[in-house]
Chains A and B, each alone.
Chain A
Amino acid sequence: MTTLATGRANTGAHQRFAPARMRRTVLEMAYAGSTVHIGCAFSIIELMTVLYRGHLRYPGNNPRADGRDFLVLSKGHGVMAQYACMRELGWLNDSHVQGYFKDGSDLKGLSDSRVPGLEVTSGSLGHGFSVGVGIAMGLQLKGTDQKVYAIVGDGELNEGPIWEGALVAAHHRMDNLMLIVDKNGFQAMGTTDDVLALGDLSAKFASFGFETLEVDGHDEASVDAAIRQLWATGAGKPKALVARTVKGKGVPFMESDNRWHYTRLNAQTFAKAVEALGLEEY
């Protein structure tokens, strides 16, 4: 894995974490690799944007630096959104994007911890959050000020270990841990309401002992403010940010159309989607 994290020369031009450009990266990867999971990458673009732009600390711009904050992408299916962030950071370059999914690519279709910048191997759902709880416990034992963010999908909340981890996080007063729920309302085969209704998530996490806020997951300013507020309040409690999102957000014909969980782009839909992003420059 030596080729990654050296990336292209980081000019800073891409460090604005512009959501439209990141969505363009996702589309490029999905088209180049003829892959799926576009919708669930798009729903977390703004959440990722806010985290990388203003919260996550990577000393020396090093994805494996000691003292970094941890972003655990438990919903590994959304990994293209994180790849897009890593491209903004210069941790990935254009050839990584164009080579995605092709023979010999280091970048897999789901999150893989061997890639510097990704903390967990996930995609089998319900794993990452537990690892994040363990990391948070370890940092708590060490007494550092590092923080752990774990992004889970609402569909992923079907998995039992998430709730086991939530009990442990609250019991051990892990106030260095923030669970972020990407509440886009869909899972692979339908809506979460139809498949396995989740009820009032905020109330559920609050009842577990989390400091909880709900927010529009595409409103960057609101997400940023909510994250700051969660860290500032509820001493001794883990945090839960329930982010209402739209699966496929950013490309109108993909929004809330669950087919973009498993549909591949062709030349026509790729061009149409890129046009919909309205980028004047890239």
Chain B
Amino acid sequence: MREAFSNALVRLALADPKVLLLTGDHGYSLFDEFRRRCPDQYINAGIAEQNMVGMAAGLARVGFRPFVYGLAAFVPIRTVEQIKLDIAHDGLPVVLLGDGAGFVYSHLGTSHQSTEDIACTRAIPGLEVLSPADRFEMTASMDYAYATNGPVYLRMGKSDRGDVHAGPIDTLTSGRLLKVRAGRADRPGLIATGSMVRTAADVAAAHDLSVWSAPSLKPLSADDVVAAALAGSGLVTLEEHSVLGGLGAAVTEITSERQPVRVLRIGVPDRFSEHCGTHAYLLQEHGLDRIAVERRIDEFVTSL
């Protein structure tokens, strides 16, 4: 997925000299190609994320198209106020790229983990929130973010969990869910985002459940969520993010108004990580590994 991201960024920058990449001294080899091919469009703004986001607003004000890259723990979390005030308030075309969202930096602990970024960004007026699940969604998300010409937060989670789509996605349409697989109508349907779409697809294949991916968390198509609710019995949401304020919250906001249905929110409980370890270990600690997810869905089915 990181390669898809890098390729898309280089392609957009080559096509439009107004595209600038700003990084808070992060990225390492990820930007080798960008620096080689678009050296004048690369700005290392230093370890100073708040200023970097404000600068991006200034650059956008005079006609540039900044892509601001940081770890999700810093962009957006450390810079929420700059995003709100300097960028979103004026609808400026800045794309904020939060890498390593969720528990990607599993060994490093709380400072580098990010399970509250969706909640924080969803509440900022005018800011769209994207959360691609694989390289195909990433490519489509980058194209969508550029074409949107407004403020976008693009969340990048664990990139090595495999594709969930068979091939390229033609176009990402604002807010639409993407069908990953169709399953039984007498069972709950799964709506997942980011890294958890892979888990949802694996569980669903074993139990013949429907799965939708939500690459766009804001906006989120209410019609699509209602259709998913009507297609099965109950809904399950899956995300590598707090159960508060993320995909699960967005889905329940819609269903409670439009199509009341039981919703099981699988996400990070309201607590920080206790231990360190691999990404798989951290998912397990928070009940997001495949075994825990299957168990919770089983219990949910029984309770319906």
Contact = CB atoms under 8 A, between A and B. Distances in A.
B54 A138 contact: no
A167 B48 contact: yes
- Which secondary structure dominates chain B's binding surface? helix
Contact of A132 (B50, B52, B58, B60): B58
A138 B63 contact: yes
A171 to B, nearest CB: 8
B54 A131 contact: yes
B249 interface: no
Interface residues of B, number: 25
Interface in A146-173: 160-161, 164-165, 167-168, 171
A56 interface: no
Interface stretch (A95-103, A119-127, A213-221): A119-127
A139 interface: yes
Contacts of A141: 64
Contacts of A136: 58
Contacts of B39: none
B81 interface: yes
A133 B46 contact: no
Interface in B32-59: 43, 45-46, 48, 50-59
Contact of A124 (B46, B63, B81): B81
Interface stretch (B82-90, B128-136, B266-274): B82-90
A134 B56 contact: yes
B81 A114 contact: no
Contacts of B15: none
Contact of B51 (A113, A124, A165): A165
Given A130-B55, A130-B82, A161 B50 contact: yes
Contacts of A167: 46, 48
Interface string B64-82: 1000000000000000011
A135 B51 contact: no
A223 interface: no
Nearest to A171: B46
A161 B54 contact: yes
B48 A134 contact: no
Contact of B55 (A114, A119, A124, A134): A134
B55 A131 contact: yes
B62 interface: yes
Contacts of A171: 46
Contacts of A139: 62
Contacts of A133: 51, 54-55, 58
A242 interface: no
A140 to B, nearest CB: 10
Contacts of B86: 120-121, 127, 130-131
A121 B82 CA distance: 10
Contact of A134 (B46, B50, B57, B90): B57
B61 interface: yes
Given A114-B90, A130-B50, A164-B50, A137 B82 contact: no
A65 B13 CA distance: 27
A134 to B, nearest CB: 2
A129 B48 CA distance: 14
Contacts of B56: 134
A121 B62 CA distance: 16
- CB-based closest 6 A-B pairs: A134-B58, A130-B54, A134-B55, A164-B48, A164-B51, A138-B62
Interface of A: 113-114, 119-122, 124, 126-127, 129-139, 141-142, 160-161, 164-165, 167-168, 171
23 contacts: A127-B54, A127-B86, A130-B51, A130-B53, A131-B58, A131-B61, A133-B54, A134-B61, A135-B58, A135-B61, A137-B58, A142-B62, A160-B50, A161-B50, A161-B51, A164-B50, A164-B52, A165-B51, A165-B54, A167-B48, A168-B46, A168-B48, A168-B55
Given A113-B89, A135-B61, A168-B51, 11 more contacts: A130-B54, A131-B57, A131-B61, A135-B59, A138-B59, A161-B48, A161-B54, A164-B50, A164-B51, A164-B52, A167-B46
